Amino acid sequence: MLETVVPIVGAALTAVVATLLVYYNARGPRPRLVRQWGQRPVVRVPYGSPISVGLVQSAIDWWTVRGAPMVHQVSIGGHDIPKPGEIVVTLIDQGVPDHAGGMTRWTTLDSTGLMISATVLVPNDVSFLVLIHELGHALGFEHVSGHHVMNARIERVTQNDRGIREAFEASELRLS
Ligand SMILES: [Zn+2]
């Protein structure tokens, strides 16, 4: 009897936990868009960079289909320093990466608080998940708990995009 009941209870518990996890991933906390751009940023990969341009383009595609106000086409060339309106994706050389495995720096205009440029620093073997996570910071998102693209810890970074589209739609700035 017990040999039958234990697996059934175990299976039922597993199903309950799986359901709760699906529910949490769909209904859990949403990331806040804490900074905004004054223009649609273009993402650029400098000349001679070992970062895959194709991977960067895929990451841009991931964001633009979710409503990110950014230029759809990756730009190639130039040096490591971003010009106004640019997000440069380049190799991490120094500094402590965030727990997700990369690092993003940005500059804002003091008078408006709007972002004017950003630098995404990643290792040369960067994964797609780390790239979309760091681009999320470059677009103005902060970390959020639960399995999500903006979770702070690499083992919990997924393609879960809960709240992303709504955050862009709710942003005050309407970029043309
Ligand atoms: Zn992060």
Residues forming beta bridges with residue 77, ordered by sequence position: none
In angstroms, the CA 47 to CA 61 distance is 21
What is the whole-number distance in angstroms between the Cα of residue 132 and the centre of ligand 1? 10
In a domain, 149, yes or no: yes
What is the whole-number distance in angstroms between the Cα of residue 73 and the centre of ligand 1? 24
Instruction: Burial-class residue 30 by CB neighbours within 10 Å (0-12, 13-18, 19+).
Output: middle
What is the whole-number distance in angstroms between the Cα of residue 141 and the centre of ligand 1? 9
What is the whole-number distance in angstroms between the Cα of residue 15 and the centre of ligand 1? 31
Same domain assignment for residues 74 and 11: no
Domains of the chain: total: 2
In a domain, 37, yes or no: no
The structure's pTM equals 0.85
Token pair recorded at residue 169: 């739609």
Predicted confidence (pLDDT) per residue in 44-97, tens digit: 999 988 899 999 999 999 999 999 999 999 999 999 999 999 999 999 876 666
Token pair recorded at residue 18: 């799986």
Same domain assignment for residues 10 and 80: no
Same domain assignment for residues 1 and 48: no
CATH number, domain of 121, equals: 3.40.390
Domain that holds residue 118: 42-170
In a domain, 22, yes or no: yes
